Amino acid sequence: MPLEIEIHAEPNEGKRISLAGSLDTDTAPQLQDKIDQNIDSTVHMVIMDLKRLEFLSSAGLRVIFKLKKQMDSHEGKFMLLNLQPQVRKVFDIIKALEGMSVFKSQEEMDEYLAAMQNKVLDGDA
């Protein structure tokens, strides 16, 4: 099964990576290439939308962790969105979701982002 990768710009120097299909040993290098081309230290936020991701293997997990690590290194935000049950299970097994920002839906993420925004504003005030 192939992997479809779409990367769009988001507000606040953000990028949204939407994946569809299978992220496995064969397709993980494609995602890594796209990340290398599009995500650098100027990107402050990455939203990984896995709404249409049907299969995730450990090779794919590795690429996702690497991206998270990369974002952590310059204090960027990394968020996972719309994990399908079978994908969430893969994360759960390796206990990888602890310490990650995971949102079930766009609304939930928007609320979180708005809250963050307000917090920053309050702090400034």
Partner 1 sequence: MNNKGKRFRSLATRISAGIILFGTLVFVTVLGANYFLSRNLLEEYIGELARATASSTVREIETVFTTVATNADSLASVVTKADINEPQIHDAIKAFLKTNADIFGMTVALEPHVLHENIGEFSPYYYREQEAYGYANLADNSYRYLEWDWYRQPKSNRKPVWTEPYLDEGGGNVLMTTYATPIWRRDDNRFAGVATADISLGWLQKLVDNIHIGETGFGMIISEADIIVAHPDKQRNMLKLKSTLEAEFIRDYWDVYTSSKSASHATYFHAPCRHKPGDCWVAIEPLLDTGWKIVIVIPESELVSDIMILTLKITALAVIGLIILVMVILSVTHRLTSPLARLASVTKDIGEGRLNIKLPRPQRNDEIGELTNDFRLMRDSLEEHIDRLQETTAKKQKLESEIEIAKDIQMSMVPGGGTVSIIEATYQLYALLRPARSVGGDLYYFQQDDNKLHFIIGDVSDKGVPAALFMAKAVTLYAGAMNDGLTPGNTFTHMNQALAQNNDACMFVTALCGTLDLDSGELTIANAGHMNPLYKTSDTSGELPVEGSLALGLMDDVEYPNITHQLAPGSRLLMYTDGISEAFNPAREQYEEERLLAFVSNCPETKAESLGTATMQDVEAFVNGAEQSDDITLMVIQYGNA
Residues that bind partner 1 (CB under 8 A): 1, 24-25, 28, 57-59, 61-63, 65-66, 69, 93-96, 98-99
Instruction: In angstroms, give the least distance from the CB of 14 to partner 1.
Output: 22
Question: How many CA atoms does the CB half-sphere of 81 hold within 13 Å?
Answer: 22
CB of 92 to partner 1, least distance (A): 9
CB closer to partner 1, 8 vs 52: 52
Amino acid at residue number 118: N
Q: Which is nearer to partner 1, 99 or 123 (CB)?
A: 99
Nearest to residue 110, comparing CAs of 43, 14, 39, 35? Answer: 14
Neighbour tally for 34: CB within 10 Å: 17
Beta-carbon-side half-sphere exposure of residue 10 (alpha carbons within 13 Å) = 23
89 versus 119: smaller Cβ distance to partner 1: 89
What is the closest distance, in whole angstroms, from the C-beta atom of residue 117 to partner 1 in the complex?
28
